[in-house]
Structure 1
Amino acid sequence: MAGRNWIPVRGAQGRHSRQAHADLPDGTYEREISKEGFFGPASFIHHRRPPTGWSSFEGPLRPRAFDLAKLAAGEESPWAAPVVLHNRACEVRFWTLAGAMPALARNADGDTLLFVHAGAGELFCDYGRLSYEAGDYLYLPRGCMWRLRPQGQTAVLVIQATNSHFGLPDKGLLGGHALFDPAMLRIPELDAAFEAHQAESGDFRVEIKKRGEVSVVTYPYNPLDAVGWHGDLAPVRLNVRDIRPVVSHRYHLPPSVHTTFLADRFVVCTFTPRPFETDPGALKVPFFHNNDDFDEVIFYHAGDFFSRDHIEAGMMTFHPSGFTHGPHPKALKNMLVQPKAATDEYAVMIDTRDPLEVGEAAAAVEDLAYVDSWKGG
């Protein structure tokens, strides 16, 4: 937290490295204990054995994994899609849609971020039309009216900033064009396809979600009837291919460096392909850490998830704050030497300040063996 007067400690004992995440003492495994999700003071403890080498793990802190691809498909409304995880500041749903939404949607509970896991199509909203494809983030400001018209089945991770807003992180010394240039953001267009959508006749239902309940407003005409707009607020589209990750060949950077969107009580990060570290002493896998201030969620979109074993695209892992975690035992074999030059993964990470609750639908598709996949390190 900015301005906090942390208790001043500068110490070191025993065998230790001078540089975090590099040049570890022979035969040791590093574990980071830090404050404020890698932004506060930190210490680095060197262990003889991997800190996740448990023989059993019981209780609510156990790591969990959900195969969201197994959730029931075909909900016509995002508000009928199953809730996977939620707390007072954040709600995550997984939504599959086979055809055009019969009604429009409006979220009065907060800003909405749609991550398109699969499929392609069109988004029609108050501001015009946006095409979409797999790997797109679609940002929808609170109160915006919208509907999707997919070309075949679309699968979407729906992330809500409850009573809050999405913004961009402060890129600091990296400059405003790091990670992605703002010019890569696409806004809707009032084009011929949007005008054709406006010409549709009949009754139009708008499903408005507020405090988790849905109200329905029916119009005898298409309410997406705008002829123009101006201002500095609008939906935008950003594809994961447009994100250029920050890299360091001598130091394994913390996941927070990949922050893409910020809300008041959580962040959304994006993992995209990047070169592995090349310095001989630098870690080539995520370091073991205690993230005691944030719950950690990762949705695996595509590729080879180098730090995880038995995880496939469409799955989600959930690591409650308070226990030590890091790479799987299989990934540890490549802790200092990687067989490939670069990672090949796309994933969305959500770190929440407040504890998350697991929805009933997610619990029904849980991989109960996930906690045991850490054994044997």
Structure 2
Amino acid sequence: MRLFSRWIDEVAAAAAVLLKAEASQAESPREKKEANKTRHSRCSLAPLCLLLFSSSSPLCKNKKQEPRAEEKAMAEEAELRYLSGLGNSFSSEAVPGSLPVGQNSPLVCPLGLYAEQLSGTSFTTPRAHNLRTWLYRIKPSVTHEPFHPRSPTNERLLGEFDRTTTVATPTQLRWRPADVPAAPRRLDFIDGLYTVCGAGSSFLRHGYAIHMYAANKSMDGCAFCNADGDFLIVPQKGSANGLASPRDFLSPTAWFEQAHRPGYIIVQKYGGELFTATQDFSPFNVVAWHGNYVPYKVLSIQYRPIDHGDPSVNTVLTAPTDKPGVALLDFVIFPPRWLVAENTFRPPYYHRNCMTEFMGLIYGIYEAKADGFLPGGASLHSCMTPHGPDTKTYEATISRADANEPLRLDGTLAFMFESSLIPRVCRWALESPHIEIWITTSAGSD
């Protein structure tokens, strides 16, 4: 998701491994929904910009006046406040009276602000599915220098998945956590980001990309805008995501800064490539806003008793396709839960299916993977590729003396991206097969 307010820095600065799905779909009204802003657990896929809310400082009463010293600034370290709900139309103002009344774009906006609309859907989209937010800025976003290709480039960041850049493989793959750079080497969110696999093309507005990153440096004086799709960010350190209860989805209230920032850098991802532009102000200068195209986060894990069942039980967000019930990308979570089914093999069973599964572990141990699946790591099982519990898990499960006793899975959190599209894998991500975890499974006999 983009449109991040100041709390994106908390995620980007964490020394973490982040698994991200970036979904962008075709132009159809039903599909142009943002990846973190889904109505009824459906995720949108319209392009959106990372440049929005943030902190501090006085406002001009009108465009020709200098800021007055007596005008109160927002506290630099003030605690952020949030609005609860999913798919709602919200309004927020950091300074009372900064939202226009009765219209979106008056001749002169309150406090001399500039009205700017951010659209997440096309103008022909039916009103019930329309996604847009009106922003009231100290300075409009357009006042930046021209974009130029970024140097140095990030060659491991992709926006298209074809034979020239990626490889098709049905082999089961698993990745260890990405290494957090050791001092004195410092990487921010942009330079620590790399693509693992994906399908489709950002130019065609259809498909998804899965990235990982490790970062240990804050993005001071720099902001990131992704024109290729919306981010769904799953931090391995720094925060957590829960099940799909609408009130657990939190959108930040308006929080701005007004400061002269010469040389402020905007990095834009466009077609899988990075471009930069400079400006003399912070992009986090939205004093007020209203609309339904907003970022959100999920505050915490909801501990609920869920038997092992189909992963659809734990689906949090869905990016739909034109075919009802078929997902371009599902976001599924496996939180702590009770296992109570009697005379049943409780871990995920051996299977193959028509969907592709990309799994990641946030913390703890995943119930079907005893070996080599570490927090911050990930695995990929493509469509119709067989997979299931590793040998150690299988043998430990069938030999339990108390196999019918209720068992609580605590201290664990895993997630999965499931897609109907076949992914292509980046060449640098191929050297991690893990067939050996099943090779020692013995043959059954009567």
The two structures have a TM-score, normalised by structure 1, of 0.61
Structure 1 position 376 matched with structure 2 position 405: no
Partners of 1:135 and 1:325 lie apart in 2 by 27
How do 1:331-350 residues align onto structure 2 when only pairs under 5 Å count? 331-332=393-394, 333-335=396-398, 337=403, 341-344=407-410, 345-350=412-417
Residue matched to 2:178: 69
How do 1:54-203 residues align onto structure 2 when only pairs under 5 Å count? 60-70=169-179, 74-78=186-190, 81-88=193-200, 89-102=207-220, 103-118=222-237, 133-136=238-241, 179-191=243-255, 194-195=256-257, 198-199=258-259, 201-203=261-263
Instruction: For residue 72 of structure 1, report the CA deviation from its aligned partner.
Output: 5.8
Instruction: For residue 199 of structure 1, report the CA deviation from its aligned partner.
Output: 3.1
Q: Name which of 383, 390, 395 aligns with 1:328.
A: 390
Structure 1 position 352 matched with structure 2 position 424: no
Partners of 2:330 and 2:277 lie apart in 1 by 33
Please, which runs of 5 or more residues in structure 1 have no aligned partner? 1-58, 119-132, 138-178
SS in 1 for 2:261: coil
Matching residue's letter, 1:87:
A
Partners of 1:339 and 1:361 lie apart in 2 by 44
Partners of 1:342 and 1:376 lie apart in 2 by 28
How do 1:178-327 residues align onto structure 2 when only pairs under 5 Å count? 179-191=243-255, 194-195=256-257, 198-199=258-259, 201-239=261-299, 241-245=300-304, 247-248=306-307, 252-264=308-320, 265-277=328-340, 279-291=341-353, 293-310=354-371, 311-327=373-389
Tell me the alpha carbon deviations over residues 112-150 of structure 1, each in whole angstroms, 9 at most, x when there is no partner.
1111112xxxxxxxxxxxxxx33258xxxxxxxxxxxxx
Larger radius of gyration: 2
Instruction: For residue 302 of structure 1, report the CA deviation from its aligned partner.
Output: 0.5
Residue matched to 2:117: none
Residue matched to 1:155: none
SS in 2 for 1:256: helix
Partners of 1:109 and 1:85 lie apart in 2 by 15
Tell me the alpha carbon deviations over residues 245-264 of structure 1, each in whole angstroms, 9 at most, x when there is no partner.
5624xxx3111221111123
- Asked if 2 retains the 8 angstrom alpha-carbon contact of 1:65 and 1:316, the reply is yes
Percent identity of paired positions between Structure 1 and Structure 2: 21
Partners of 2:260 and 2:281 lie apart in 1 by 8
SS in 2 for 1:260: strand
Structure 1 position 362 matched with structure 2 position 429: yes
Partners of 1:232 and 1:202 lie apart in 2 by 32
- Asked if 2 retains the 8 angstrom alpha-carbon contact of 1:79 and 1:209, the reply is no
- Asked if 2 retains the 8 angstrom alpha-carbon contact of 1:180 and 1:244, the reply is no
Instruction: For residue 242 of structure 1, report the CA deviation from its aligned partner.
Output: 3.0
SS in 2 for 1:268: strand
Partners of 2:287 and 2:383 lie apart in 1 by 48
Partners of 1:134 and 1:338 lie apart in 2 by 34
The two structures have a TM-score, normalised by structure 2, of 0.52
Q: Point out 4+ residue stretches in structure 1 off by more than 6 angstroms.
A: none
Matching residue's letter, 1:184:
D
Please, which runs of 5 or more residues in structure 2 have no aligned partner? 1-167, 201-206, 321-327, 442-446
Partners of 2:428 and 2:405 lie apart in 1 by 38
